[in-house]
């Protein structure tokens, strides 16, 4: 693990340390939001979900403070080399963290909606998915603060685990909707929660990629993604191209409703 270089200028070093601390605090707030939202979902505690919404305000305030301090450091210290990469990456990381907070708000809103209905099924898999995303975020920020590119690379590879969780949840919820149209409302809400968690993991992956750039000066964003998509895409004339799960990535409630309606109509013909 590379050692973080300390500056002889104590004020400068204090500013850099303050940026690291605020980023860690933001990450802890995002983890808290996700953990509390899952607790509210499992325990059907809508009041807890409502209270959790206000954590986003703290995250937004921290975003402004980090941005302000980074800009002051750029103007006053005129950093170069690794310090410049750290400051510019901090400005990007803070944006990813703020967006994770917004996704946490979305999750809480869907939890409140689900809690007003009978549970469709136990929420075991979606909670496990949230735990995996939380771990990715925690380790990505630790790698950022420590400047550990090897650790960050390992985090990037774990994003596929969260994606697998989402694919499994999507297929199961689609089955529930095909069995009974009355399940559509609850299924689409749970699918949305899973999608928000998947996006949080994507943002954690972004942070890990920034760590690699900050430490090694190498931009690894999007490397290998195009190849994976190309190899996974079915041939135009393949029979699987008409499968509803392949035809849509499930990014919206509307897509799931369309898929369920299409499947239900085929069953009645």
Give CA separation, 222 vs 165, 202, 240, in Å: 21, 12, 26
- Which of the four pLDDT bands, split at 50, 70 and 90, describes residue 261? low
Which residue ranges form the domains of the chain, and what is each CATH number? 10-268 (1.20.58.220)
Q: What is the mean pLDDT of the chain?
A: 84
- Which of the four pLDDT bands, split at 50, 70 and 90, describes residue 241? very low
Q: What pLDDT score was predicted for residue 10? A: 84
Query: Per residue in 36-60, pLDDT tens?
Result: 999 999 999 999 999 999 999 999 9
Query: Per residue in 170-181, pLDDT tens?
Result: 999 999 999 999
Judge whether residue 255 has pLDDT over 90: no
Give the span between the Cα atoms of 216 and 191, in whole angstroms: 38
User: What would the mean pLDDT of 242-258 be, rounded to a whole number?
Assistant: 44
Say what the pTM is. Answer: 0.81
Judge whether residue 147 has pLDDT over 70: yes
Judge whether residue 250 has pLDDT over 70: no
Give the span between the Cα atoms of 40 and 44, in whole angstroms: 5
Q: What pLDDT score was predicted for residue 269? A: 47
Q: What pLDDT score was predicted for residue 242? A: 38
Query: Per residue in 89-129, pLDDT tens?
Result: 999 999 999 999 999 999 999 999 999 999 898 999 999 99
Q: What pLDDT score was predicted for residue 216? A: 83
Q: Work out the burial of residue 1: count CB atoms within 10 Å of its CB; fewer than 13 is exposed, 13-18 middle, 19 or more buried.
A: exposed
Structure tokens at 125: 């898999």
Structure tokens at 230: 């190309």
Whether residue 90 contacts residue 66, with contact meaning beta carbons closer than 8 Å, is answered with: yes
């Amino acid at each position: 693990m590379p050692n973080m270089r300390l500056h002889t200028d104590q004020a400068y070093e204090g500013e850099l340390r303050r940026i690291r601390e605020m980023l860690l605090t933001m990450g802890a707030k995002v983890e808290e939001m996700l953990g509390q939202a899952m607790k509210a979902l499992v325990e059907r505690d809508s009041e807890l979900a409502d209270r959790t919404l206000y954590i986003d305000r703290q995250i937004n305030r921290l975003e402004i403070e980090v941005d302000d301090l980074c800009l002051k450091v750029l103007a006053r210290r005129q950093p170069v080399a690794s310090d410049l990469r750290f400051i510019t990456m901090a400005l990007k990381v803070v944006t990813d963290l703020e967006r994770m907070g917004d996704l946490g708000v979305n999750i809480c809103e869907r939890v409140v909606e689900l809690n007003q209905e009978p549970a469709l099924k136990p929420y075991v898999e979606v909670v496990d998915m949230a735990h995996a995303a939380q771990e990715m975020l925690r380790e990505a920020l630790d790698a950022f603060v420590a400047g550990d590119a090897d650790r960050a690379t390992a985090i990037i590879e774990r994003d596929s685990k969260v994606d697998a969780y989402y694919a499994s949840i999507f297929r199961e919820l689609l089955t529930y909707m095909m069995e009974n149209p009355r399940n559509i409302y609850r299924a689409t809400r749970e699918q949305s929660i899973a999608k928000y968690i998947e996006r949080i993991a994507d943002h954690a992956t972004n942070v890990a990629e920034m760590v690699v750039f900050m430490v090694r000066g190498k931009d690894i964003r999007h490397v290998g993604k195009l190849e994976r998509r190309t190899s996974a895409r079915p041939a135009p004339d393949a029979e699987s191209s008409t499968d509803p799960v392949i035809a849509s990535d499930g990014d919206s409630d509307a897509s799931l409703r369309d898929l369920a309606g299409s499947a239900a109509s085929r069953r009645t013909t």
